[in-house]
Structure 1
Amino acid sequence: MSDQPRPGADKRREIEVPDFSMVIASAVHDMKNSLGMLLSTLEDLRQELQGAPAENPKLNTLQYEAERVHSDLLQLLGIYRLGEHTLSAHSDEHYVADFLREQLARHQPLLDGHGIQHEIVADDSAVGFFDDELIAGIITSSLNNAIRYTRSRLRLGAREQDGWLVLSIEDDGKGYPESMREAGDALLRAPDFSSGSTSLGLYFASAIANLHQNDGRRGEIRLHNEGELGGGVFEVWLP
């Protein structure tokens, strides 16, 4: 009996290959949600372990690293949406001091766990027009960074200057190196993944601030070491 191929045996069904960037975006979205659940569980665990100080350093490390990765994933999703031209700022009126309190409250257990003193300097009646979800992402990332580098103090501030709303995060650490302070418009360039230092967080913050525009002006971020606490100062300037 001859070994003849069966009819249709050579017709292989072609499998459609999905857009890899969409696969990555979907996976990142799932990981972000899982980390959100992890952070919520860590907070519950922290409450249950009150009175067991020996566990606090481990919880602080777990929460900090989970917050950092969660923030990174949010940034990756935001950058993907920027590339797809599906991310835009939907500004609304917000009481600035209340907004800053909300951001600080999320980090309260971590700040307390590290013994970091913190304060908010903002007029309770001050209002601003911005996309609170997008700006919250910037504040969260900057707070995580400040918690890592501060010695013992953090300050969140808000002020009006020359027609801009300026949100700031100040610490008493060693401050920003000169290369970062002088980056300027380079922060809006796509990260260079071949250099080993992508500055992804700064690129994300610059891009989100830049989405906010009013009367021909676009938002930006500024870094300097001229604050009252003696460390680094991260500022978001919104028109």
Structure 2
Amino acid sequence: MKNRNIDFSMVLALAVHDMKNSLGMLLNSLDELRAENEAKLTESSKFNTLQYEAERIHNDLVQLLGIYRLGENNLSAHIEEHSVSEFLSEHLARHTPLLEGLGIECSIESDDINGFFDTDLLTGVLNNTINNAIRYTKSEIKLTAAEREGYLVIRVEDDGEGYPESMQHTGTLSFKSLDFNTGSTSLGLFFVSAVANLHSEGDRKGYIKLHNGGELGGGVFEIWLP
């Protein structure tokens, strides 16, 4: 039997891509089902859990593909100018039905500014961060955006218990910092940190901050983009 040189990482990437697409179709069907049966499904805990978990897995697969492309040096940022408030409003609209179903209040507070970023990559960052906030918040999530120190700073705050001290961080995460011996590898944070780092201007690069407090008193995620 001839030896076959199989790039197993490529096989996995293709499988993940197919699963991501299938889950995307499932999520679209769930959105349509909710719209058609709003009175019955809006407050259905089982349906909300189904949609939340499907969204979480979809986000995980998007991140895995991004990390694979990063490892292959095939992930880049296509940076263009965008209205920050419009981007956040359009993004939040995708999450509104689930947030309402879960009884979570969500608001946006954004300065009237434009930012330079890759919308697809930043969408992946916000999906990850909002999904995480939904999991740990008590009742409220807030998105804010402002210009600080020459950076566009987008924050996602919640009123949960906040980040444990081991997760609080400023800067860029390295792959070596991931711990595969625990139940939480922080792959999501590695992905969003890598996305931030792909945004650069001159010698300045984007980075993330995780801390507690903010206006809601819980966890605060910040992405700083030059």
Q: TM-score w.r.t. structure 2 length?
A: 0.95
CA distance in 1: counterparts of 2:175 and 2:162, whole angstroms: 23
Q: How does 1:104-123 map to 2 (within 5 A)?
A: 104-123=92-111
**Structure 1 match to 2:58:** 70
CA distance in 2: counterparts of 1:54 and 1:205, whole angstroms: 30
Q: How does 1:85-104 map to 2 (within 5 A)?
A: 85-104=73-92
Contact 1:141 1:201 in 2 (8 A): yes
Structure 1 residues 232 and 215: alpha-carbon distance in aligned structure 2, compared to 1, 3 A threshold:
same
CA distance in 2: counterparts of 1:195 and 1:114, whole angstroms: 29
Contact 1:49 1:55 in 2 (8 A): no
What are the ranges of 5 or more consecutive residues in structure 2 without an aligned counterpart?
none
**Structure 2 match to 1:232:** 219
Q: Are 1:42 and 2:34 counterparts?
A: no
Q: How does 1:7-46 map to 2 (within 5 A)?
A: 12=1, 14=2, 16-46=4-34
Picking from 149, 154, 169, the partner of 1:162 is 149
Q: How does 1:149-188 map to 2 (within 5 A)?
A: 149-181=136-168, 183-185=169-171, 187-188=173-174
For 1:111, the aligned partner's letter is: L
For 1:84, the aligned partner's letter is: E
Picking from 105, 112, 119, the partner of 1:132 is 119
**CA-CA distance at 1:188 after TM superposition:** 2.5
Structure 1 residues 82 and 213: alpha-carbon distance in aligned structure 2, compared to 1, 3 A threshold:
same
**CA-CA distance at 1:52 after TM superposition:** 1.6
CA distance in 2: counterparts of 1:228 and 1:87, whole angstroms: 35
Q: Give the 4+ runs in structure 1 shifted more than 4 A.
A: none
What are the ranges of 5 or more consecutive residues in structure 1 without an aligned counterpart?
1-11
**CA-CA distance at 1:16 after TM superposition:** 2.5
User: What is the total number of aligned residue pairs between the two structures?
Assistant: 225
Greater strand fraction, Structure 1 or Structure 2? 2
**CA-CA distance at 1:57 after TM superposition:** 1.2
Q: TM-score w.r.t. structure 1 length?
A: 0.90
CA distance in 2: counterparts of 1:54 and 1:84, whole angstroms: 42
Counterpart of 1:192 in 2: which secondary structure?
coil
**CA-CA distance at 1:24 after TM superposition:** 0.1
For 1:177, the aligned partner's letter is: P
Report the RMSD for the aligned CA atoms in angstroms.
Answer: 1.5
Q: Give the fraction of aligned pairs with identical amino acids, expressed as a percent.
A: 60
**CA-CA distance at 1:53 after TM superposition:** 5.0
For 1:128, the aligned partner's letter is: G
**Structure 2 match to 1:142:** 129
